[in-house]
Amino acid sequence: MIEQICSIAEQILADKTVDVVIGYEAGTRGAVRPAFIRSAAEAGRLVWNDACTHNLANYVREKHVSPKKGAPPAKVGVILKACDARALNVLLRDNQAPRADLYLIGVACQGMRQNSGFAGRDLGDLELRCQDCAERVPAGCDVVVGEAPAAGVAPASAIARELDRLAALSPAERQAFWDAEFARCLRCYACRQACPACYCVECTAEQLEPSWIGVAIRTPEKRFFHTMRAYHLAGRCAGCDECARVCPVGVRLDLLNAWFRREIEGTYGYRAGQDATTPAPLASFVPSESLDL
């Protein structure tokens, strides 16, 4: 599989289809990190294994820039799993990069493993999002490497079960749960940085006029930040769960996003990133629809 990925990367760099390929390479101490390959000779650096959990769609906007003033923006090749391809669809739908400037290398994915790439830690189960993933093969790519894995085990639905558990609690208990989660937050904004859909030039979290969120690192400010972050991703979060993965204190951001995904799929039958054309549910409406208020 990795031979195929390398040869595709080598070829598209050699024939100038793209200027840069975003992929994965071996990092330090057995870890995997994003790689930006700019020449065909370097394509051999790419790796593919069950630690390639990063969503590389996040780097597309950053690399799709002009090398010098007046020059057309660089063409970008990017390696995508099924969840990453959905995130990229959101970017395409939001006009963050023209499809013609991108070369999408889809990789059929077996799922990523918890703790993979961390030396000295025991290899865990599949990551939560991977346990429930029904897609596996990315859609809408220029080329897809690998075959869909055989039907695996039934989804564990760990996230869905946690949502159900929270829904059964009283509002006061839910508030206590979230206060405990938010209390750990450091306001480092790693969740925002890791999110492909968080591309605002000026984030509400840092806006000063008006100042939406106080500077204090206390639970009310943190609660507001997380409310804001989650709501801004409503109908746009493709479920790559990068936010939860990069959180240094393990705030359950995946639950906030999953709640919105479930709600929006239930109400509008829409999954973020299902294609690159359907408008976001909160950016569209049907006059005759009836919604509970």
Whichever of 147 and 179 has its CB closer to another protein, that residue is 179
The torsion of the CA quartet 280, 286, 292, 293, rounded to 10 degrees, works out to 80
For the segment 189-228, give every residue that binds another protein (CB under 8 A). Answer: 204, 208-209, 211-216, 218-221, 223-224, 227-228
Cα–Cα distance measured from residue 83 to residue 238, given in angstroms and rounded to the nearest whole number: 7
Among 121, 165, 174, 184, which residue sits at the site for another protein (rule: CB under 8 A)? 174
11 binds another protein (CB under 8 A): no
- Report the candidate in 47, 189, 181 with the shortest Cα–Cα distance to residue 117: 47
234 binds another protein (CB under 8 A): yes
For the segment 239-268, give every residue that binds another protein (CB under 8 A). Answer: 256, 259-260, 263-264, 267
What is the nearest approach in angstroms of another protein to the Cβ of residue 111?
Answer: 27
What is the nearest approach in angstroms of another protein to the Cβ of residue 214?
Answer: 4
Whichever of 126 and 234 has its CB closer to another protein, that residue is 234
Whichever of 127 and 221 has its CB closer to another protein, that residue is 221
Whichever of 11 and 175 has its CB closer to another protein, that residue is 175
Output the six-digit token pair for 235.
């109908």
Q: What is the DSSP string of 26-91?
A: E-GGG-EEEEEE-SGGGGGGB--STT--S-GGGGHHHHSS-SSTTSPPPPEEEEE-HHHHHHHHHH
Contact of 243 with 257, CB cutoff 8 Å: yes
What is the nearest approach in angstroms of another protein to the Cβ of residue 252?
Answer: 12
Contact of 192 with 185, CB cutoff 8 Å: no
Question: Looking at 10-18, 24-32, 59-67, 276-284, which segment touches another protein (CB under 8 A)?
Answer: 276-284
Say how many C-beta atoms besides its own lie within 10 A of residue 105's C-beta. 25
82 binds another protein (CB under 8 A): no
Cα–Cα distance measured from residue 289 to residue 269, given in angstroms and rounded to the nearest whole number: 13
Q: Counting beta carbons within 10 angstroms of the beta carbon of residue 134, is it exposed (0 to 12), middle (13 to 18) or buried (19 or more)?
A: exposed
Whichever of 67 and 220 has its CB closer to another protein, that residue is 220
Output the six-digit token pair for 58.
């996040």
Residues that bind another protein (CB under 8 A): 166-167, 171-179, 204, 208-209, 211-216, 218-221, 223-224, 227-228, 230-231, 234, 256, 259-260, 263-264, 267, 281-283, 285-287, 289, 291-293
